[in-house]
């Protein structure tokens, strides 16, 4: 009876010792070496740069914790792939909303520069002939020649023709827009001054030669790139340097023929 008790006690001791040893053994689990060849594919997919090393096994976690951890990993920034930019896209402004550029000023055609040309006419030397269709002003010099200048002429609806004489000459003239012009431009949203003193910004430019009793003039301009075009309200405009040259060559009483 005593021997049976000893054997039973010994067996129970061995069982409890084994269980205790097992609990101690799995209570602190040993480190596990994870091969970088095995971890690289899924680690790279998560976008996390992890160096190969020693990782300890963790105790099992609750399903919801595991799910939360997985979600956190998914929200980590993805690794940039070749040929794919991860930078935020710039907002492109629609063409219709783009601010328009200022129109470039035209270069004047060289044919409109002052030059001596052959010109056959019955008008006397010293007469001014203005060809509005071709945008040329001729100062007849005689002997079948004329001094030719480029000009700007009346826009559609403002063309005119006739014969007048220069009745007045003015240097750096004051501009007084006619009431008809003021009303016409105001209807377009352009408000003209009642009067503007002569100067570089004045639309009449450096010189003006008034034609008869009309409102028309041969004058300079502050927009020389318009020479060669039909842009005025009926006046004949010239480059400032050209109108100064013509101004010095003619006198009050000079005949002007507009064709």
Distance CA 250, CA 259 (A): 19
Say what the pLDDT of residue 52 is. Answer: 44
The residue annotated as part of the active site, out of 135, 148, 217, 219, is 219
For 157, other C-beta atoms within 10 Å of its C-beta total: 8
Token pair in block for residue 169: 């000459």
Residue 91 has pLDDT above 90, yes or no: no
Closest to 222 in 3D by CA, of 212, 235, 237: 237
Q: What is the mean pLDDT of residues 209-216?
A: 95
- Residue whose entry in the numeric block shows the structure tokens 């909303």: 97
Burial of 229 (0-12, 13-18, 19+ CB in 10 A): middle
- Is 233 or 138 the better-scoring residue by pLDDT? 138
Say what the pLDDT of residue 194 is. Answer: 74
The residue annotated as part of the active site, out of 137, 153, 209, 235, is 235
Distance CA 117, CA 99 (A): 46
Contacts of 193 (CB under 8 A, 6+ apart): 177
Distance CA 219, CA 233 (A): 12
Say what the pLDDT of residue 100 is. Answer: 33
Q: Which CATH superfamily is domain 112-258 in?
A: L,D-transpeptidase catalytic domain-like (2.40.440.10)
Closest to 119 in 3D by CA, of 131, 132, 101: 131
Say what the pLDDT of residue 24 is. Answer: 57
| Per-residue pLDDT tens over the stretch 140-182 | 999 999 999 999 999 999 999 999 999 999 999 998 877 788 7
Helix and strand numbers (H, E) in the chain are 5, 13
| Per-residue pLDDT tens over the stretch 26-54 | 555 555 554 555 444 444 444 444 444 44
Q: What is the mean pLDDT of residues 64-89?
A: 48
Say what the pLDDT of residue 76 is. Answer: 47
Q: What is the mean pLDDT of residues 130-147?
A: 97
230 as an active site residue: the answer is no
Say what the pLDDT of residue 95 is. Answer: 35
Residue 78 has pLDDT above 70, yes or no: no
Strand residue runs (E) in 107-183: 115-118, 128-131, 136-142, 145-150, 153-154, 162-171
235 as an active site residue: the answer is yes
Burial of 206 (0-12, 13-18, 19+ CB in 10 A): buried
DSSP 241: H
Note the pTM of the prediction, 2 decimals: 0.58
Say what the pLDDT of residue 29 is. Answer: 58
């Amino acid at each position: 009876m005593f021997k049976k008790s000893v054997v039973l006690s010994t067996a129970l001791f061995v069982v409890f010792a084994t269980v205790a040893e097992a609990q101690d053994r799995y209570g602190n689990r040993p480190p596990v070496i994870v091969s970088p060849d095995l971890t690289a594919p899924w680690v790279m997919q998560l976008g996390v740069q992890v160096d190969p090393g020693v990782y300890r096994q963790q105790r099992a976690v609750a399903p919801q914790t595991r799910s939360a951890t997985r979600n956190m990993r998914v929200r980590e920034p993805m690794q940039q792939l070749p040929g794919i930019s991860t930078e935020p896209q710039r907002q492109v402004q629609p063409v219709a909303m783009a601010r328009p550029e200022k129109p470039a000023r035209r270069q004047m055609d060289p044919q409109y520069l002052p030059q001596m040309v052959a010109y056959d006419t019955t008008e006397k030397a010293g007469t001014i002939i203005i060809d509005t269709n071709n945008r040329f002003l001729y100062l007849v010099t005689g002997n079948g020649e004329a001094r030719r200048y480029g000009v700007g002429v009346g826009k559609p609806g403002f063309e005119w023709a006739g014969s007048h004489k220069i009745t007045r000459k003015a240097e750096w003239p004051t501009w007084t827009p006619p009431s008809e012009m003021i009303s016409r431009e105001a209807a377009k949203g352009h408000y003209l001054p009642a009067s503007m003193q002569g100067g570089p910004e004045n639309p009449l430019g450096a010189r003006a030669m008034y034609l008869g009793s009309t409102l028309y003039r041969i004058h300079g301009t502050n927009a020389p790139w318009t020479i060669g075009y039909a842009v005025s309200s009926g006046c004949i405009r010239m480059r400032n340097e050209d109108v100064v040259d013509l101004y010095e060559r003619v006198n009050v009483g000079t005949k002007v023929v507009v064709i």
